[in-house]
Amino acid sequence: MPEQPNDPELAIAGTGMGGPMDLATSEAATLDKTPGPDGGGPQDRPRSLWSDAWRDLRRNPVFIISALVILFLVVISIWPSLIASGNPLKCNLSKAQEGSQPGHPFGYDGQGCDVYTRTVYGARTSVTVGVLATLGVSLLGSVLGGLAGFFSGVWDSVLSRITDIFFAIPVVLGGLVLLSVVTSNTVWPVIGFMVLLGWPQISRIARGSVITAKQNDYVQAARALGASNSRLLLRHIAPNAVAPVIVVATIALGTYISLEATLSYLGVGLKPPTVSWGIDISSASTYVRNAPHALLWPSGALAITVLAFIMLGDAVRDALDPKLR
């Protein structure tokens, strides 16, 4: 038999004629050392859905712009005095409906209140209602829909019929009826109404996502190994079924902000002296011909806020949808 070379390099070079396994091993080793597209790791390193989504979102200008707008809204909602030093409830009737002046760039409304200050402070109420309503709707709808999709049977049938009943209730008409009997002038009745009528949509999404996820092989394997229902639902199904819920909730947040303004405009939502975009829009609509600026600025702030959340939801949906990769 021919003597084997002692030099490792010669041994690798000679595998072209008699050592395909060594050649495959060397190629695999070379591939393992090749940096990935981000320059941080090997190309064959597995990536999760969330890491891929975050990588796509960082490169999406729509996500960046909408995220910056939302971040600005959150900041001024928490600390409105950073950009508005006045008092939104301090009014001067002698300046009612006057236009822009030094120190008051948005002019005055029909009561002589500074429109700029009220627009800034109105962001706190609208963002608070939108965020809390979205959290409540997402939590309630995800729990009910997830349990219905996981256990199926009678539980699923009963929940589906209840969901159909709530879908048949017109949202605005339901708000006019339910909130007209509420005397509390806080955000909680409005948030409770949104959660009451908003959970069926999230429930349907969560139910379908859980039904799809529980049919995967890894869930069946975990069940065969003796995993309990709670472990299957919390450790294996929920993390892989939550993406559609996040997408729908992000888009719905802007809708809830718009709904709060609509209910306040109709007089059944928030009421003065609460500072809200919907209240200011409702008040300014009566004298829009004489002072259009009082209607323009809160309406524009509301439109930009809703658009920012819808754009954010669209970007998250594109990043989390595997069919778009």
How buried is 181 (Cβ within 10 angstroms: 0-12 exposed, 13-18 middle, 19+ buried)?
exposed
We report the CATH number of the domain holding residue 218 as: 1.10.3720.10
Give a yes or no: residue 43 inside a domain: no
- Rounded average pLDDT over 271-275: 87
Could you give the CA distance from residue 204 to residue 248 in angstroms, rounded to a whole number? 11
Give a yes or no: residue 39 inside a domain: no
Residue 298, token pair as written in the block: 């809160």
Q: CB neighbours (10 Å) of residue 103?
A: 9
Q: What is the pTM (predicted TM-score) of this model?
A: 0.78
pLDDT in tens, 194-228: 999 999 999 999 999 999 888 888 888 888 888 88
* pLDDT value for 214: 85
Give a yes or no: residue 10 inside a domain: no
* pLDDT value for 11: 40
> How long a stretch of residues is the chain?
325
Give a yes or no: residue 236 inside a domain: yes
Tell me what the pLDDT averaged over the chain comes to. Answer: 82
* pLDDT value for 42: 47
Could you give the CA distance from residue 160 to residue 163 in angstroms, rounded to a whole number? 5
- What is the domain extent for residue 257? 53-91+105-324
Give a yes or no: residue 18 inside a domain: no
CA proximity to 159, closest of 175, 173, 171, 147: 147
Range list of H helices, the chain: 8-13, 15-18, 20-32, 49-58, 61-78, 115-151, 153-167, 171-179, 188-213, 217-224, 229-231, 238-241, 243-265, 277-284, 293-320
Give a yes or no: residue 35 inside a domain: no
pLDDT in tens, 148-174: 888 888 888 888 889 889 888 888 888
At 103, the amino acid letter reads: G
What is the tally of structural domains in the chain?
A: 1
Residue 257 near residue 302 (C-beta atoms within 8 A): yes
CA proximity to 190, closest of 88, 302, 265: 265
At 309, the amino acid letter reads: F
CA separation, residue 307 to residues 62, 120, 160, 299, 300 (Å): 11, 17, 32, 12, 10
Give a yes or no: residue 21 inside a domain: no
Q: What is the sign of the dihedral through the CA atoms of 227, 228, 229 and 233?
A: negative
Give a yes or no: residue 249 inside a domain: yes
* pLDDT value for 216: 83
* pLDDT value for 322: 59
Could you give the CA distance from residue 181 to residue 289 in angstroms, rounded to a whole number? 33
CA proximity to 182, closest of 309, 269, 299, 242: 269
pLDDT in tens, 106-115: 999 988 999 9
pLDDT in tens, 24-79: 344 344 444 444 444 444 445 556 667 787 888 888 899 999 999 999 999 999 99
- Judged against a pLDDT cut of 90, whether residue 132 lies above it is answered with yes
* pLDDT value for 325: 53
